Amino acid sequence: MRPIRLREDSVILREFLYVDTDKVRAMLAQLDGGVPEEFRQTERSEKRTTVGPRVAAQHYQGSWTEAYTNKSLGDALFPTLEDALETEGLLHDVSLEVSNREQWDSGELKSRFPPGSLIRVTGMGSLFDTRYVATAFSAFAYVSAALHDLGLSNDVGAAEPRKGKQGPNQRQRPQKASEPAKADELEDKIPDFPAVEGIDGATLRSFVRIARGVFSPGLHINLHPASGVLISARLQEGRQYLDSEADILLARYGAEPQEWTLVGSIGSYGTEETELPDQNFVTGDSRIDRGAFSGAMNSQMCSLGRAGFIDLPQHPGFSLIPFAVYRTIPRPGLVARLEHQGSR
């Protein structure tokens, strides 16, 4: 079989989901002393010919050109940083390491790549946003209620008819959704509706409450490189390329896992502690030791994070502070040629 080789100058095309341009510029400034924004080149040539006395005759011929390009680096900013970090040996691709569960269990991965390490990881992952969950469940509830009113849905779990003028064959209308008490109570978007296969409004609202506790509202990308391991990154809104609402992003990219590449720094690993430290933060003279109190509260939060109740990394996984999230654009023609060469 002939060896398969890729051209060294093959261009990698990236489809960016997210780029933190502020972090990218700051990192480039530290590496190169600044970010180039323009290129200017000036060329000048001249020729002089003098015949006889200076006042008699002179011939002058010259040319002067200037080329000026104001190049907005835009999408080239991050690839420039990625190449520079690799050249300096600061960026490590850990895609293979994180896919090996033994690396996690032995603690070798955490030892080699402590918090703050700059890494690139490619793997199967999916987008998640609690706001989109609430929106989707709300849409399901309204459609189910409307189908029930039109007599087009099954009567699974339908409530008994109301008393009064309604006949025995008339169906009960769903209760109207109550006005939300607070703007951040996403579950209040979901109205009551006749149960469908045991699922009703109360059930969906409970799911949303769990979702906004486990993943704080906002867009997350979750990679599952090995069994029982989660690498999670929260994508901060207002950064370049993340300018679409959650429902638009999920509609475009879907909720199914696909291959993503994340580049950034490791935020923190999930806690390995299983027991809470001393919670005594009141001194003998009835004063609160502020350091002991903050430590006690942090240990409580770490314990909740280990149990998966709040939005913190869960052992053995880690959180990632993303510089960029992208997927590589495939080359169908190249893949076909490689498959053809491999079969020969």
In this prediction, residue 237 carries a pLDDT of 78
Query: Band of the pLDDT at 117, cuts 50, 70, 90?
Result: very high
Angle at 220 between CA 217 and CA 221, to 5 degrees: 165
In this prediction, residue 158 carries a pLDDT of 42
CA pair distance 335, 329, nearest whole angstrom: 12
Residue type (1 letter), 20: D
Proportion of the chain above pLDDT 70, given as a percent: 69
pLDDT tens readout for residues 291-317? 989 988 998 999 999 999 999 999 999
**Considering the chain, what is the average pLDDT of its residues?**
79
pLDDT tens readout for residues 209-240? 999 999 998 899 999 999 999 999 999 876 66
**Residue carrying structure tokens 């890729």:** 6
CA pair distance 18, 250, nearest whole angstrom: 14
Q: Among 124, 99, 120, which Cα is nearest to 254's?
A: 124
Cα–Cα distances (Å) from 3 to 7, 332, 334, 339, 343, in that order, read: 13, 19, 15, 11, 11
Beta bridge partners of 145: none
More confident: 117 or 158? 117
Q: Strands 118-129, 39-51: parallel, antiparallel or unpaired by DSSP?
A: unpaired
Residue 303 burial (CB count, 10 A): 17
Flag whether pLDDT at 278 surpasses 80. Answer: no
More confident: 82 or 6? 82
pLDDT tens readout for residues 64-89? 665 544 434 456 788 889 999 999 99
CA pair distance 315, 307, nearest whole angstrom: 9
In this prediction, residue 12 carries a pLDDT of 75
User: Would the pTM of this model clear 0.85, i.e. be above it?
Assistant: no
* Helix (H), strand (E) at residue 142: helix 130-149
More confident: 16 or 154? 16
Flag whether pLDDT at 51 surpasses 80. Answer: no
**Residue 115: cis peptide before it, omega within 30 degrees of 0:** no
